[in-house]
Structure 1
């Protein structure tokens, strides 16, 4: 299989040095994997061009007493202490959360809120099967509507889960983090606020003159952390750029891949927002290094019926740049 033929939303790559194999995780698609159910599947390749048919590594239906069985969005796999940890976002519409009150824009958002959050599952193999560590609740606080948890280990060795706090609950979506225990099985303390989506001042700059651009929602999505040689900390994240105004005055826009920089190298920031790396309905990207030490970014495009797109990247200090799209690998588009 090749990337143009592979359904691929929220892609995450593990470059496994031991086997010189790239593992590409995404939500299970029964039409490709041949396995019914909500969960995670993985493609494998040794050259980023030709990929095996996917293998299912996690199914919610196989977990005992799991608090939610829908979603399985944005799977990531990380090695820790010789074991492999899967983060994936589940939700349960039958477990409501409080609806947010009127906000600073004077707009009462009466959108239904329900339990949503990232779970942690563990396996001894990159091919699973993965078993949820705590089936009773998500890893972030269960009263928060969150998604897209990712792992960050700070310079002191403290592991964190960084996640997006849903705009459905906050109106102005945020990025937050919570400390994890050494074995990633639990949390320590309260969440730490990192930044809010509206901090990216460019989000509404394409709105025509005379149209208010300070209108909700502001969306945070798909964080991934990456340390730079100059000691800075990058966070890839995605949002919606507001650039379309409907006849009824509503504002919409395209999905974009952007990033922020903490020059201090500290997860707490301060975070400086940078302009988008890729537009054209693209996002939820992550960085990884190839076996020949090239820095690559993989993301999905378009949002619906997504496919994986690969970009060769360059780091200049803490400035991240796209060198070229690897159309030889992803088929272009």
Structure 2
């Protein structure tokens, strides 16, 4: 009888655990995420994505890229944190054994910039690496992310926002090895209007740059994904190519965008089976969803497989 009761209790606990896990699992396609940046963490064999939960970031984890677990807040701003609003585009990146969130904030003066947060593990808690923007304090800047050059030096790629300069710019800024300081002056790589497919955002002819992300193609070409609005008014992903093979360019632009589903702010990663993936949000509206698709790379020519 005791053995029966024990097995019954064990079965009930196992069933309760299954139900609890099922209830905590969230289908990725239902997640309202703008600017999804997937970290495929090799140490834990787990995928992570951080989500705007102003004034904080919430973290989700997954083992299969389909079912995601809510890990709770991984960063909540203290009262003295310089960033007071926006909390946009958290890029979750591993660098030299630590984990970083690169995200966009606005201060009390309305100036937008990218700040870097740091943690010892992907789930956090994250703290400001330096309590100020890494992008220039007097610029409207956003969408900063990490790039490591051929000399193993870290750089921040980011956008000088169209609201301040009219024709949005993609900019590169070298950083110190500990990511706490800038090294030298920012270097403009290209402007939004250089994209043949790009159209103005308004009657004043503002041109947007969003979300620079460098990808080394299978044929050795250096490509950069970036987003703007096409001439038909849809948000889209552009592809730029470095003629020199160096991140400082010069950069040439593909004639057409990579997608036509009114989606953008993309990044590329490999899953744990080695398959190439692209993640972005679509459509660019109040009904946007995070999407993950397979990505084909044929001699540097990319195509999304839905």
Matching residue within 230, 236, 244 for 1:264: 244
| Structure 1 consecutive aligned stretches of length 4 or more whose deviation exceeds 6 Å | none
- 1:198 is paired with a residue whose SS is helix
Aligned Cα root-mean-square deviation (Å): 1.8
Deviation at 1:216, TM superposition (A): 1.0
How do residues 55-94 of structure 1 correspond to structure 2 at under 5 angstroms?
55-60=72-77, 62=78, 65-92=80-107, 94=108
Q: How many residues align?
A: 278
SS in 2 for 1:238: strand
Describe how 1:14-33 pairs up with structure 2 within 5 A: 14-28=39-53
Partners of 2:170 and 2:209 within 8 A in 1: yes
Task: Report the TM-score, using the length of structure 1 for normalisation.
Answer: 0.80
CA shift at 1:7, angstroms?
1.3
Confirm or deny: 8 A CA contact 1:285 1:299 kept in the other structure.
yes
Q: Is the 8 A contact 1:81 1:183 kept in 2?
A: no
Shift of 1:314: 1.3
Aligned residue number for residue 273 of structure 1:
253
Which residue number corresponds to residue 48 of structure 1? 65
Q: Give the C-alpha shift of residue 67 in structure 1.
A: 1.7
Residues of 2 paired with 1:65 and 1:233: CA distance? Answer: 40
Answer whether contact 2:94 2:100 (CA < 8 A) is retained: yes
1:106 maps to none
Distance 1:51 1:288 in 2: 17
Q: Which residue of 1 aligns with 2:287?
A: 305
Larger Rg: 2
| Partner Cα separation in structure 2 for residue 154 and residue 214 of structure 1 | 38
**Cα distance in 1 between the residues matched to 2:203 and 2:80:** 43
The CA deviation string for residues 271-312 of structure 1, in whole angstroms up to 9 with x for no partner, is: 111221112220111100011111000110122232111221
Q: Is the 8 A contact 1:173 1:219 kept in 2?
A: yes
CA distance in 1, matches of 2:50, 2:193: 30
**Shift, 1:19, TM fit:** 1.7
User: Aligned equivalents of 1:118 and 1:227: distance in 2?
Assistant: 24
- Secondary structure class of the residue paired with 1:242: coil
* Cross-structure match for 1:328: none
Distance, in Å, in 2 between the alignment partners of 1:159 and 1:312 is 28
Verify: 1:231 aligned to 2:220, yes or no.
Answer: yes
CA contact (8 A) 1:12 1:26 kept: no
TM-score by length of 2: 0.86
| Gapped regions of structure 1 (runs ≥ 5) | 29-36, 96-113, 208-212, 244-252, 326-333
Corresponding residue number in structure 1 for 2:206: 217
Aligned ranges 1:165-314 → 2 under 5 Å: 165-204=160-199, 216-243=205-232, 253-274=233-254, 275-303=256-284, 304-314=286-296
Q: What secondary structure sits across from 2:296 in the alignment? A: strand
The CA distance in 2 between the partners of 1:214 and 1:40, in whole Å, is 35
